[in-house]
Structure 1
Amino acid sequence: MSDNVQAKIERLAIPIVEDLSMELVDVEFQKEGKNWFLRVYIDRDQGVDLDDCSKVSEKLSEALDNNDPIEQAYYLEVSSPGAERPLKKGKDLEAAVGKHVHVTTYAPIDGEKTFEGKLTNFDGTTLTIEIKVKTRTVTMSIPYDKVAKARLAIVF
């Protein structure tokens, strides 16, 4: 999705979501087969339910109809980001300190591009992750500008 379309959708969605005491987590606009899907992910501390998603969908649908920021026909889906929620912004990483995360980098760090472990610190420029390697724990420092993707991870 172009940054311009994403920015327009976010500008419409943020006031709606915040007015309902929720947070806009992510916006995706993707073509799947012949159809386009606009997916809006919302959350709050106690989680969201179907009723929350319906409220946001109804209000956002009305705002999209009035502003018409997307040319082609699409399906609107509003949902929770799920247990393995993406960590896209610095504030998302700050909130994830103490939790288990999965991080991939643009280039290898110490020969690896994938890291999974407990996020112990994020200072705005560096992620510090404790990773279990067999029987020992290794602390990795990953520069934030080298992070391709980050998400919460479920520990089994």
Structure 2
Amino acid sequence: MSTTQSDRLRGLLEPLVAAKDLDLEDIEVSRAGKRRMLRIIVDSDEGLDLDLCAELSREISDLLDETDAMGEGEYNLEVSSPGADRPLTEHRHYVRAEGRLVKFQLTEGGELIARILGVDDEGLDLEVPGVKGRKATARRIAFTDVAKARVEIEFNRKNDTKEEEA
């Protein structure tokens, strides 16, 4: 997809997405056989539900039908959330991942797996799990020290006190 088409799609769809208090995370256009696939990735602090994705999909479809933003030819439209394993690239992604276990690739080299306890404008407060029966340790890292970050999927995650109270 050309930058011009991407910019045009983003300019067209961002106000519609923002009106629903959502963030437009990504726009992907790819080939699926003879057709094209337009994937719109949206997210919010409260998360998404299927009904909201379906409603937004209908509104985006109507808006695209009124314009020539996708050009001629058929395409499939998919509106979805980024998924649990998406990369953390924006400040808001880190805020949404508070309490989650994250795998960090550090700019100085090496990896770190730690739970995000807090996020501010400069960096992250982390809890590094203990190894072989040792206690967890606190660590602070700056955003400039993070090359890449991705949430780790936890199948046996213990509930924290906030979840237990709810």
Match of 1:119 among 112, 116, 119: 116
Q: Sequence identity, in percent?
A: 32
- Structure 2 segments unaligned to the other structure (5+ residues): 156-166
Q: Which has the higher contact order (CA 8 A, sep 6+)?
A: 1
Change (3 A) 1:49 1:91: closer
| TM-score using structure 2 length | 0.66
- Structure whose CA Rg is larger: 2
C-alpha contact (below 8 Å) 2:129/2:136 kept by paired residues: yes
Change (3 A) 1:61 1:118: same
Give the Cα–Cα distance (whole angstroms) in 1 for the partners of residues 97 and 54 of structure 2. Answer: 27
- Structure 1 segments unaligned to the other structure (5+ residues): none
Match of 2:126 among 126, 129, 146: 129
* 1:96 aligns to 2:88 (yes or no): no
Change (3 A) 1:23 1:15: same
C-alpha contact (below 8 Å) 1:131/1:140 kept by paired residues: no
More strand as a share of residues:
1
Deviations 1:20-39 (A, max 9, x none): 34333332223456543221
Give the Cα–Cα distance (whole angstroms) in 1 for the partners of residues 95 and 105 of structure 2. Answer: 17
* 1:60 aligns to 2:60 (yes or no): yes
SS in 1 for 2:28: strand
Residue type at the aligned position of 1:100: L
Change (3 A) 1:151 1:4: farther
